[in-house]
Chains A and B, each alone.
Chain A
């Protein structure tokens, strides 16, 4: 692929001879052979890259005006909202951008799970992805603490207190994290530092993620390997334009939040300055953490809850080996497909339960939903591969494409 490219101008030739960066980009962003049957669920990779870059750029400018000090942070955010030119725009893009980032990453992961993109030979792409997800969680959590509102403060208190569940060293570790004997300005400054650092670590992992993707190439909705040249199209312009189209539609939703209901995804308590002496009635995390929050609270023991919550994310890294089926795409897995949708429904239910107080029926449902979440990965996934009779796979990507056209032609005749 990259051999096709010949630099034309003298400058391009000069550079490419010394650092073949033009050949690299041409190979990976222009000519890269991509299966021609990718649907719109495959556009979230590009959308996520956009989200990351947007967060980094808006975050950089916000950091120029923000003051990481327990007494000044809240007012400095309001200073951004009121006095900095387009500061309100930057902050609303950044705050809603976090939500949009998570919407996109959840859909990206759901796509991968449905079409078996985590299976051989793409296991490492998936595992790097799980690490990106983990870093995203840490980054978003620390970012939410920075405005130093009531939810910032008490959210930080609840989550950092989880470390005290560690046997023997819990208290020492918690105090070390806080840099104090409670959540205070010391935590705020270190969270600011880490919140600034982590997006660049994510960026590095994203490069590895794409690098690992470009070795075997994209999976596709049929879940079968590309067998001949006519199964693929060059990335540019086919997928560049398709990805940008999807991105612009995504941006319409994004802009809808930013400009017309910028606070709907946040919590009103975070417009009250942090007050260590007054605990809010309900401490709720941001919506994108709610499923994991529900898992944390489902276990009656503090340490157990922490272990369950951490495992809920860690278990994702083992999925490539938990799934015993050789068939990638759920299109050809009639039995597992049912359980796939059950998992999605279970995850959404967990999210809803995470927003409710953990009492009565909510607690019972929370425990059942948590149980299913884990059973899905450690029992359902390994077993179904042996029980299920997959539908016959097409011989090539072009085959189902043709048969669809034949079907269309047929239905046209009958109509």
Chain B
């Protein structure tokens, strides 16, 4: 019996160590702030997501696209839950190419709820040439696309240091960030105190802005998180009750058999 338990423990350890295969020595372990959406019952904080959307729009969106997210998602349950009117107004600030019309011409029209977030670039090449050759990656699933997830993205936004330590040479267009791989990153620091003026009156400190925008990106990467946990809770309760019933049924069936 002991042996079986040991093996099981080994398998579990093995599963978890392999899934956190960090590239050791090259990166600092990220900071771990408290996220409202962590844990089995965690949910997004609507106000935080709304502020995060504001940071994305006013700071990140000038370089980073979010191709997988539509304006209508801003209204959906489990997200920032803006009112439909607000979301329509936000969409209408952008223009998208549509057509062709009856004359065979393409034309520009204001974006509507069903449109995807409008990209800052016409194409990847334009984004590349405008940023010294490094294309700013799409942010839609960024939080799921980096090991360390929200902690990593948050830390990266705050990990800039004005001057690289002695002995570290930075090429043109490369910045020093303690949480980046090899401490080097092509994105400059963008989060500065009072970089935005929050509509809800929250103080726009660097930490506040980084946390808000990271929460927003965590939602955009996993927009069904709340529904998933809610259903998951019900499923587990159902299965656990069922397993007890089956346990006693099984016991009863085997009652008269010596085995």
Contacts and interface: CB of A to CB of B under 8 A. Distances in A.
A369 to B, nearest CB: 13
A238 B246 contact: no
B231 interface: yes
Interface stretch (A5-13, A161-169, A265-273): A265-273
Given A233-B257, A242-B250, A272-B145, A287 B15 contact: yes
B228 A252 contact: no
A268 B146 contact: yes
B222 to A, nearest CB: 8
A355 B224 contact: no
Interface string B121-151: 0000000000000000100110011110100
A233 B11 CA distance: 34
B68 A245 contact: no
B242 interface: yes
B242 A248 contact: yes
Contacts of B231: 89, 259
B239 A255 contact: yes
Given A36-B259, A252-B239, A268 B11 contact: no
A242 B240 CA distance: 15
Given A78-B141, A244-B246, A251-B239, A282 B23 contact: yes
B238 to A, nearest CB: 9
A293 B139 CA distance: 32
Contact of A352 (B14, B224, B242): B14
B17 A355 contact: yes
Contacts of B229: 259-260
A1 interface: no
Contacts of A290: 18
B259 A81 contact: no
Given A252-B239, A262-B228, A78 B253 contact: no
Contacts of B258: 36, 398, 401-402, 405
Interface stretch (A117-125, A295-303, A340-348, A388-396): A340-348
B102 interface: no
A255 B235 contact: yes
Contacts of A272: 137, 145
A351 interface: yes
Contacts of A282: 21, 23
B146 to A, nearest CB: 6
Given A238-B253, A271-B141, A348 B242 contact: no
B259 A37 contact: yes
A361 to B, nearest CB: 14
A241 B73 CA distance: 45
Give the residue among A36, A245, A356 with the most B Cβ atoms within 10 A: A245
Contacts of B17: 352, 355
Nearest to A245: B246
A344 B40 CA distance: 33
Nearest to B232: A259
B85 interface: no
Contacts of A88: 224, 227-228
Contacts of B254: 238, 242
Contacts of A233: 257
Contacts of A266: 19
A271 B144 contact: yes
Give the residue among B149, B239, B259 with the most A Cβ atoms within 10 A: B259
Contacts of A355: 17-18, 21
A284 interface: yes
B223 interface: yes
A351 B68 contact: no
Chain A facing B: main interface SS: helix
A75 interface: yes
Interface in A348-384: 348, 351-352, 355-356
B93 interface: no
Nearest to B247: A245
B236 interface: yes
B18 A287 contact: yes
Contact of A259 (B3, B67, B228): B228
B249 interface: yes
A49 interface: no
Given A287-B19, A345-B10, A352-B18, A78 B68 contact: yes
B257 A241 contact: no
Interface in A232-290: 233, 237-238, 241-242, 244-245, 248-249, 251-252, 255-256, 258-260, 262-266, 268-269, 271-272, 281-282, 284, 287, 290
A272 B221 CA distance: 12
Nearest to B68: A78
B227 to A, nearest CB: 8
A292 B122 CA distance: 45
Interface in A72-92: 75, 78, 81-82, 88-89, 92
B7 interface: yes
A251 B231 CA distance: 14
B57 interface: no
Interface in B86-118: none
B236 A252 contact: yes
A237 B259 contact: no
Give the residue among A78, A92, A255, A268 with the most B Cβ atoms within 10 A: A268
Given A259-B232, A402-B258, A348 B14 contact: yes
Nearest to A110: B7
Contacts of B146: 268
Nearest to A404: B258
B243 interface: yes
5 contacts: A88-B228, A265-B19, A271-B144, A287-B19, A351-B14
Given A251-B239, A260-B229, A348-B7, 17 more contacts: A238-B254, A241-B246, A242-B250, A244-B246, A248-B243, A252-B239, A258-B232, A259-B233, A265-B15, A284-B18, A341-B3, A345-B10, A348-B10, A355-B17, A398-B258, A401-B258, A401-B259
